[in-house]
Amino acid sequence: MHNKSPKKNWRVKLHEIIYEADTPEGKLFDVILLFAIIASIVFVMLESIKEFDVRYHNFLDIAEWVITIIFSIEYILRIIAVKKPFKYIFSFYGIVDFLSTIPKYISLIFVGTQVFIALRALRLLRVFRILKLARYLGASNMLANSLKASRAKIAVFLFAVFIVSIIFGTLMYLVEGEASGFTSIPVSVYWCIVTLTTVGFGDITPVTPLGQFIASFIMILGYGIIAVPTGIVSAEYVSQNRDKVSNPPSPTAVDLNTEACPNCSVERHKDGAKYCYSCGHLLREYE
Amino acid sequence: MHNKSPKKNWRVKLHEIIYEADTPEGKLFDVILLFAIIASIVFVMLESIKEFDVRYHNFLDIAEWVITIIFSIEYILRIIAVKKPFKYIFSFYGIVDFLSTIPKYISLIFVGTQVFIALRALRLLRVFRILKLARYLGASNMLANSLKASRAKIAVFLFAVFIVSIIFGTLMYLVEGEASGFTSIPVSVYWCIVTLTTVGFGDITPVTPLGQFIASFIMILGYGIIAVPTGIVSAEYVSQNRDKVSNPPSPTAVDLNTEACPNCSVERHKDGAKYCYSCGHLLREYE
Amino acid sequence: MHNKSPKKNWRVKLHEIIYEADTPEGKLFDVILLFAIIASIVFVMLESIKEFDVRYHNFLDIAEWVITIIFSIEYILRIIAVKKPFKYIFSFYGIVDFLSTIPKYISLIFVGTQVFIALRALRLLRVFRILKLARYLGASNMLANSLKASRAKIAVFLFAVFIVSIIFGTLMYLVEGEASGFTSIPVSVYWCIVTLTTVGFGDITPVTPLGQFIASFIMILGYGIIAVPTGIVSAEYVSQNRDKVSNPPSPTAVDLNTEACPNCSVERHKDGAKYCYSCGHLLREYE
Amino acid sequence: MHNKSPKKNWRVKLHEIIYEADTPEGKLFDVILLFAIIASIVFVMLESIKEFDVRYHNFLDIAEWVITIIFSIEYILRIIAVKKPFKYIFSFYGIVDFLSTIPKYISLIFVGTQVFIALRALRLLRVFRILKLARYLGASNMLANSLKASRAKIAVFLFAVFIVSIIFGTLMYLVEGEASGFTSIPVSVYWCIVTLTTVGFGDITPVTPLGQFIASFIMILGYGIIAVPTGIVSAEYVSQNRDKVSNPPSPTAVDLNTEACPNCSVERHKDGAKYCYSCGHLLREYE
């Protein structure tokens, strides 16, 4: 532990700054990154508004190039700082980071691709890491668990919505015809989904008495169907709340740690952990 | 058990392939069937889009005839493979299979009836059998049980929606009159259902101050009413979840079996069952 | 019990037929009444459709007069059959029965009042009596109890919706101005309720960037607010379901009885009851 | 306690009338105030309707000045009656009271600011104090507790809605283009929020098949997302209901008291309390 090479030391330090949010430097890095992400999304949005684009085109273009270069450097540093770079590259965040950087370069060749920069919104998910809010991590875990536990039920429910939409969509196409905007079965199915989900744009509406009668039936059905996913999720939450009362909340405390393994990038180590629970690598080599 | 006639053997084999999904042949049959159903729905949809129909009319027509003939053969085989064919013919799936096949033949005589092929969407319900996903069967059973247990409450609720719609629909017809689109009481009742269910197409909207005031009231009422079915279903799920915790999940395991009785087509036999629980017939004669 | 006057006997019999649904005659009377109510609602609806009214005006007019006279006779018989007629006249059903009969007579003097016949829809509530479905009575009791128990919470919630609508309605009026349809504060408040309840007609929509931003905020707020009444009702149902499990379902059984006291018209007597629990009068004098 | 100065006595009396609702004078004061608030909101609303403003401009202007002067006097009296006026001035109600009074004065200099009088709607929150309805206070506490307990989950949920809206909004902008009304990414994100929340105005709607397909996906997603906040709140209510059953309802009884400390204006003292629980000042000096 005492005779570390200077290069290793530098890499470990880099890993700490980029991947973790426990040290002041790591926190600063994350906050700067967060602002860069938000700025980049705002610039893409402003660029899409014609009046802005006409006036400030050059400024917006330069600002985006600056941010893209910052992101490119960050991406390369992330690859360097990790011992197993491919594990990072093909991880969820690795792919998001890549997709957030590349569109601006491609826009040099193909016009219009820079709008994909909106994918950078996904990078905002890092915000939870930065804020170190275990509560939010716990809450999002609970959300994810509820959805996972209800997966089968939700699949059955979506399948039912799908079949109902096809059958009633076709029926409405037959009843209403093209005069009211039900120009084809796919459009009718689209209208049926719009109605079942109670969105109701009103771009296509039934005008015949029979069509309005069937539409009323679909709406009341949708009204009833909306109860199903809500009921499923509610029941899951209730049973999760009940479990949490009987068990101590210690497992959530584990999630507090924002450390990432310098070898395999796995996160969520126990607070006092010395070695990575996944690859067995030493977590803080320089200590 | 040893001296079975060859014919019986052939029929038993056919039953196994068509009705069950436990053997490789049975699984293959079901998967092919699934693709045929999806293809047939897609073809009907494409046919309803004018641009497609003009260009590929002949191709779509031939493709549908091919699928219709496949379904016809399948339907006849299903009748042959079962010992009590009438039980199959008048079962839910039997009727759906018949209604999925017949429209194309009728379209030879009456133009336009082939759109009823969309009823084939109901055949997609077989997908659960094919996927052998007991979890999904369990989930759909739970959904069905919740709805069954809440039947009376939902009926009372729908009845309330019905009466409220008639009374407020008439009121809006009186207040708004024909200028705003409330041309008759049935149209007003339709508008009232559109509003109560929070769909809100916007094809008909109140324009007088009093009409807008009553509409506001109806909306807040609908907002409150939407809570009722959701609350009913949630409570059912919560109590079902609670029951499942106290009882072992063994009854669900029974549903795993996709076997169907060769005599009476009843499904959901226990895993080790030798005889049909409904008619007492031997389940696998050839063993 | 043996020397009853013939007149009393006749009145008792009449009470049994009109107010109860336990005897064949009583059931027949209620079913005929139900059809008369539905027919009368249908006639009023058809009359409001111009094409129908032009063609079948005379038929519809005569049909309604026939039904009105039937209802008038029934109303008078109900008053005669009961010992304390004022108790019936000022009961909920008594008022509904009166309001269902009178509009047609008034329409002789004032044109247009016959549309109030739609109030007859309220008479459909009698359907539960006719169907003798205790389950439905139990379910509607449970619904009513949930709403009663959540009364204070729902009032607080509606009050919050009210204040939010006024403040954001005014804000949108300031931001959007008259060009986008936000012509006055009341109209803006109406729009705000339409948006908060997720109805979204689309007759008035924000067009300025700031207006759309505030509208987005209102929608997400409405999305959150919709959770409140649902959560309240769900929690009530869950706790009622829990209570029902611990207590025997005997109190519901009491509701099965459709008998009404011949003296004071009170309903829901115990099945074996001889005397009215409210006024002490003998329930079945002729036995 | 016996030799109080007359001035002190006068101030204590004033405090009792203005801040409390236990004495007849205090109740009368609060009821008059409530009517003044409602009247002032109604006047601002009427003023925004052109037809009214043209006809009754002078009447409305005078009426609002009268109410504004009443509110100004009340505001000054409130400051005088309290011992620590700054504590009141910077409390929630203090700021609301100030903001309700000032716009009319500013409207003398800047035209149009009097519409901010709508902020007076917030003063309606005092209605709970006036009605002395502990039940409602308990219910609103329960509402607030549920929301507080679910805070982290709701933040995660809103964050998810935010990211989904940006990504799908950009996608729809790319797919639909300006012809269908998706003129810029911010407008597309706005449309996405309108759709996700199932409001569905219909001012902007997809017209291309791909756009309608993505819209269908967004709607079903929104349908699923709506289940999340509802489930969260339902589960909170269920667990709060459960707690209330095990604990006696005595803590709610504390909220019954509408007394306010004459020194620091803190409310919700215990019923028998002699000294303020916050600053230790004697609650009723004149007794």
What's the one-letter identity of residue A165? S
| Segment 61-90 of chain B within 8 Å of chain A by CB | none
Q: Indicate whether B111 belongs to any domain.
A: yes
- Please, which residues bridge with residue A275 across strands? A282
Q: What distance in Å separates residue C213's CA from the closest CA in chain B?
A: 21
CB contact under 8 A, D202 and B198: no
Residues whose CB falls within 8 Å of the CB of residue C164, separated by 6 or more in sequence, listed in order: C192, C196, C221, C225
Q: Indicate whether A10 belongs to any domain.
A: yes
For residue D1, what is the DSSP state? -
Q: What distance in Å separates residue C208's CA from the closest CA in chain B?
A: 21
Task: Confirm if C165 and C185 have CB atoms less than 8 A apart.
Answer: no
Provide the 10 A C-beta neighbour count for residue A217.
13
pLDDT score at A3: 47
CB contact under 8 A, B158 and A239: no
pLDDT score at C248: 40
Q: The tokens of B55 are what?
A: 């260009």
Q: The tokens of D222 are what?
A: 């929104």
Average pLDDT over residues D86-110: 82
Q: Indicate whether B152 belongs to any domain.
A: yes
**Nearest in space to B216 (alpha carbons), one of C182, D14, C189, C34:** C189
Q: Cα(A56)–Cα(A50) distance, rounded to whole angstroms?
A: 10
pLDDT score at B231: 79
Question: B117-165 pLDDT, tens per residue?
Answer: 667 777 776 665 555 544 555 666 666 776 677 777 777 777 778 888 9
pLDDT score at B190: 93
How many Cβ pairs within 8 Å bridge chains B and C? 134
pLDDT score at B256: 42
CB contact under 8 A, A231 and B146: yes
- CB hemisphere CA count around B83 (13 angstroms): 16
Burial D90-119 (b: 16+ CB within 10 A, else e): eeebbebbeebbbbbeebeeeeebbbbbbb
Q: Cα(B120)–Cα(B95) distance, rounded to whole angstroms?
A: 11
- Closest CB from D200, D231, D238 relative to A146: D231
Q: What distance in Å separates residue D202's CA from the closest CA in chain C?
A: 6
Give the domain CATH number at D35: 1.20.120.350
Q: Indicate whether C274 belongs to any domain.
A: no
Q: Cα(A169)–Cα(A62) distance, rounded to whole angstroms?
A: 49
pLDDT score at C278: 62
Q: Which residue has the tokens 């009633």?
A: A168
Q: Which of C136, C161, C189 is the last residue of a domain?
A: C136
Q: Cα(D79)–Cα(D95) distance, rounded to whole angstroms?
A: 12
Q: Indicate whether B276 belongs to any domain.
A: no
B249 has pLDDT over 60: no
Residue B274 phi, psi dihedral angles, 5° rounding: -100, -35
For residue B168, what is the DSSP state? H
Residues D130, D148 within the same domain:
no
Provide the 10 A C-beta neighbour count for residue A260.
24
Q: What distance in Å separates residue B101's CA from the closest CA in chain A?
A: 16
Question: C160-171 pLDDT, tens per residue?
Answer: 788 889 889 888
Mutate: best of B154, B201, B205, B226, partner A, most A CBs <10 A: B201
A201 at interface of C, judged by CB pairs closer than 8 A? yes
D229 at interface of C, judged by CB pairs closer than 8 A? yes
Residue A227: its chain B contacts at CB < 8 A?
229-230, 232-234
Question: D233-261 pLDDT, tens per residue?
Answer: 788 777 776 665 554 443 333 344 455 66
Q: Which of D111, D136, D161 is the last residue of a domain?
A: D136
Q: Cα(A21)–Cα(A131) distance, rounded to whole angstroms?
A: 9
- Closest CB from D200, D231, D238 relative to B200: D200
> From B203, which residue of chain D is nearest by alpha-carbon distance?
D202
Task: Confirm if D225 and A230 have CB atoms less than 8 A apart.
Answer: no
CB contact under 8 A, B215 and C122: no
Residues whose CB falls within 8 Å of the CB of residue B89, separated by 6 or more in sequence, listed in order: B79, B95, B98
Q: Which of the other chains make 3 or more beta carbon contacts under 8 angstroms with chain D?
A: A, B, C
The better pLDDT of the pair C33, B21 is held by C33
D213 at interface of B, judged by CB pairs closer than 8 A? no
pLDDT score at D251: 39
Task: Confirm if A33 and A74 have CB atoms less than 8 A apart.
Answer: yes
C229 at interface of A, judged by CB pairs closer than 8 A? no
Residues B184, B73 within the same domain:
no
Average pLDDT score, chain D = 76
Most confident region among A113-117, B77-81, D16-20, D221-225 by mean pLDDT: B77-81
Four-CA torsion C192, C198, C200, C206, nearest 10 degrees: 50
Residue D125: its chain C contacts at CB < 8 A?
163
Mutate: best of B164, B199, B230, B243, partner A, most A CBs <10 A: B199
> From B188, which residue of chain A is nearest by alpha-carbon distance?
A212
Residues whose CB falls within 8 Å of the CB of residue B71, separated by 6 or more in sequence, listed in order: B36, B40, B97, B100, B101
Q: How far apart are the first and last CA of chain C?
A: 7
> From D193, which residue of chain A is nearest by alpha-carbon distance?
A199
pLDDT score at A127: 64
Q: Indicate whether A252 belongs to any domain.
A: no
Task: Give me the helix-helix angle, A151-176 and A209-225, nearest 10°.
Answer: 170
Question: B177-212 pLDDT, tens per residue?
Answer: 777 889 888 999 999 999 998 898 988 999 999 999
Residues B100, B125 within the same domain:
yes
Q: What distance in Å separates residue B27's CA from the closest CA in chain A?
A: 21
Q: Cα(B239)–Cα(B227) distance, rounded to whole angstroms?
A: 18
Average pLDDT score, chain C = 76
Task: Confirm if C100 and C122 have CB atoms less than 8 A apart.
Answer: yes
Residues D132, D21 within the same domain:
yes
What value does the CA radius of gyration of chain B take, rounded to a whole number of Å?
Answer: 26
pLDDT score at A256: 42
Residues C128, C163 within the same domain:
no
Q: Indicate whether C268 belongs to any domain.
A: no
pLDDT score at C252: 39
What value does the CA radius of gyration of chain C take, rounded to a whole number of Å?
Answer: 26
Residues D235, D129 within the same domain:
no
Burial D206-230 (b: 16+ CB within 10 A, else e): beeeebbbbbbebbbbbbbbbbbbb
Cβ-based burial of A54 (10 A; exposed 0-12, middle 13-18, buried ≥19): exposed
pLDDT score at C57: 86
Most confident region among A6-10, C120-124, D31-35 by mean pLDDT: D31-35
The better pLDDT of the pair D106, D201 is held by D201
CB contact under 8 A, B224 and C229: yes
- Closest CB from C146, C201, C230 relative to B205: C201
Q: The tokens of D43 are what?
A: 């006047």
pLDDT in tens, chain A (287 residues): 444 455 557 778 888 777 776 778 877 888 888 888 888 888 888 888 888 888 888 888 898 889 889 989 988 988 888 888 888 888 888 888 888 888 888 878 777 666 666 677 777 766 655 555 445 556 666 667 766 777 777 777 787 788 889 889 988 988 887 778 898 889 999 999 999 988 989 889 999 989 999 999 999 888 777 777 777 778 877 777 666 555 444 333 334 445 566 666 666 555 556 666 666 666 655 44
Per-residue HEC secondary structure of chain A comes to CCCCCHHHHHHHHHHHHHHCCCCHHHHHHHHHHHHHHHHHHHHHHHHHCHHHHHHHHHHHHHHHHHHHHHHHHHHHHHHHHCCCHHHHHCCHHHHHHHHHHHHHHHCCCCCCHHHHHHHHHHHHHHHHHHHCCHHHHHHHHHHHHHHHHCHHHHHHHHHHHHHHHHHHHHHHHHHHCHHHCCCCHHHHHHHHHHHHCCCCCCCCCCCCHHHHHHHHHHHHHHHHHCHHHHHHHHHHHHHHHHHHHHCCCHHHHHCCCCCECCCCCCECCCCCCCECCCCCCECCCCC
Q: Cα(D34)–Cα(D181) distance, rounded to whole angstroms?
A: 46
Q: The tokens of D65 are what?
A: 């000045």
D56 at interface of C, judged by CB pairs closer than 8 A? no
Give the domain CATH number at A175: 1.10.287.70
Residue A200: its chain D contacts at CB < 8 A?
200, 202
What's the one-letter identity of residue C78? R
Residues D115, D78 within the same domain:
yes
pLDDT score at A192: 94
Residue D156: its chain A contacts at CB < 8 A?
136, 139-140, 143
| Segment 175-194 of chain B within 8 Å of chain A by CB | 186-187, 190, 193-194
Residues whose CB falls within 8 Å of the CB of residue C269, separated by 6 or more in sequence, listed in order: C257, C259, C261, C276, C277, C283
Provide the 10 A C-beta neighbour count for residue C35.
10
Cβ-based burial of B90 (10 A; exposed 0-12, middle 13-18, buried ≥19): exposed
Determine which helix (DSSP H) or strand (DSSP E) holds B76, and give its type and residue range.
helix B50-81
Which pLDDT band, with edges at 50, 70 and 90, does D277 fall under? low
Number of domains in chain D: 2
CB contact under 8 A, A167 and B199: no
Q: Which of A136, A152, A175 is the last residue of a domain?
A: A136
Which pLDDT band, with edges at 50, 70 and 90, does D188 fall under? very high
Alpha-carbon dihedral sign for residues C184, C189, C194, C198: positive
Long-range contacts of A61-66 (CB under 8 A, 24+ apart): A63/A39, A64/A40, A64/A104, A64/A114, A64/A117, A65/A104
Residues D44, D83 within the same domain:
yes
| Segment 14-53 of chain C within 8 Å of chain B by CB | 41, 44-45, 48-50
For residue C264, what is the DSSP state? T
Residues A157, A221 within the same domain:
yes
Residue B171: its chain C contacts at CB < 8 A?
118
Q: Cα(B113)–Cα(B263) distance, rounded to whole angstroms?
A: 35
A235 at interface of B, judged by CB pairs closer than 8 A? yes
The better pLDDT of the pair A156, C188 is held by C188
Q: The tokens of B69 are what?
A: 């003939």
Residues D91, D38 within the same domain:
yes
Residue B41: its chain A contacts at CB < 8 A?
166
Residues whose CB falls within 8 Å of the CB of residue D164, separated by 6 or more in sequence, listed in order: D192, D196, D221, D225
CB contact under 8 A, D201 and B201: no
List the domain range (segments joined by +) for residue C122.
6-136
Residues A125, A153 within the same domain:
no
pLDDT score at C17: 79
Question: C214-265 pLDDT, tens per residue?
Answer: 999 999 888 777 777 777 778 877 777 666 555 444 333 334 445 566 666 6
Residues A72, A167 within the same domain:
no
C192 has pLDDT over 90: yes
Q: Which residue has the tokens 């009046």?
A: A51
Task: Confirm if D173 and D154 have CB atoms less than 8 A apart.
Answer: no
In 3-state terms, what secondary structure has residue B213? helix
**pLDDT > 70 fraction of chain C, expressed in percent and rounded:** 70
How many helices (H) and strands (E) chain B has is answered by 12, 0
Task: Confirm if B63 and B50 have CB atoms less than 8 A apart.
Answer: no
Q: pTM for the whole thing?
A: 0.80
- Closest CB from C112, C197, C233 relative to B198: C197
Q: Which of the other chains make 3 or more beta carbon contacts under 8 angstroms with chain A?
A: B, C, D
Q: Indicate whether B20 belongs to any domain.
A: yes
Residue D231 phi, psi dihedral angles, 5° rounding: -60, -40
Q: Cα(B160)–Cα(B193) distance, rounded to whole angstroms?
A: 12
Q: Cα(A195)–Cα(D43) distance, rounded to whole angstroms?
A: 39
